[in-house]
């Protein structure tokens, strides 16, 4: 068994949860905060059989969009600098995904 830890943008979560549950994936949603932007995002824990990992990843890829976000040096804890424009744009997403081995799974 594998544990997929997927960090996704809040705007994609509702559709992603609909698609995952429709396809019989079981998951848990956690509220999280990105270390760089210091803004809310969502972490999904998805426990899956190894042969279903590819199916889960293809749904995540299809649903989670890349978007531009605006941030400034001061909001990420840096002093203004004349050579670095601020505010500036960065790309966020589709999704950041970690796939972990699960030693043991029990539903007690
Ligand atoms: P944040 O940490 O708020 O990062 C938001 C976006 O800011 C990132 O998008 C990336 O484009 C940019 N970014 C992050 N750190 C940066 C840095 N040191 N210098 C320049 N730009 C930087 P994504 O890569 O799509 O990441 C989205 C969210 O996924 C992150 O939100 C964080 O919550 C999570 N994440 C990404 N990589 C991670 C990692 N290696 N470990 C744990 N969480 C991670």
Q: The pTM is what?
A: 0.93
The atom number, within ligand 1, closest to the CA of 7 reads 29
User: Is 83:31 a contact under the CB 8 Å cutoff?
Assistant: no
pLDDT score, position 85 = 83
> What mean pLDDT is reported for the chain?
95
Residue 105 banded pLDDT, cuts 50, 70, 90: very high
- Which residue of 4, 6, 8, 34 sits with most ligand 1 atoms within 8 Å of its CB, as the best mutation to test the pocket? 34
| Top-confidence residue, 71 or 23 | 23
- Which residue of 92, 94, 98, 100 sits with most ligand 1 atoms within 8 Å of its CB, as the best mutation to test the pocket? 92
Q: How far is the CA of 36 from the centre of ligand 1 (A)?
A: 6
Residue 75 banded pLDDT, cuts 50, 70, 90: confident
| H or E element in which residue 32 lies | strand 26-33
Residue nearest to atom 36 of ligand 1 (CA): 96
pLDDT at 82 over 90: no
Question: Would you say the C-alpha torsion 90, 95, 100, 104 has a positive or negative sign?
Answer: positive
DSSP character for 23? T
pLDDT score, position 83 = 82
d(CA 34, CA 40): 6
Residue where the block lists tokens 């949860």: 17
């Amino acid at each position: 068994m594998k544990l997929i830890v997927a960090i996704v943008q809040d705007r994609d979560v509702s559709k992603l949860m609909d698609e995952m549950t429709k396809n019989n994936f079981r998951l848990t949603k956690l509220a999280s905060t990105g270390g760089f932007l210091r803004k809310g995002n969502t972490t999904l824990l998805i426990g899956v059989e190894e042969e279903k990992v590819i199916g889960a990843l293809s749904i995540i890829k299809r649903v989670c969009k890349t978007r531009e976000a605006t941030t400034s040096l001061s909001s990420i804890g840096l002093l203004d600098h004349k050579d670095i424009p601020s505010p500036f744009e960065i790309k966020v997403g589709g999704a950041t995904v970690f796939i972990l081995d699960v030693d043991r799974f029990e539903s007690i």
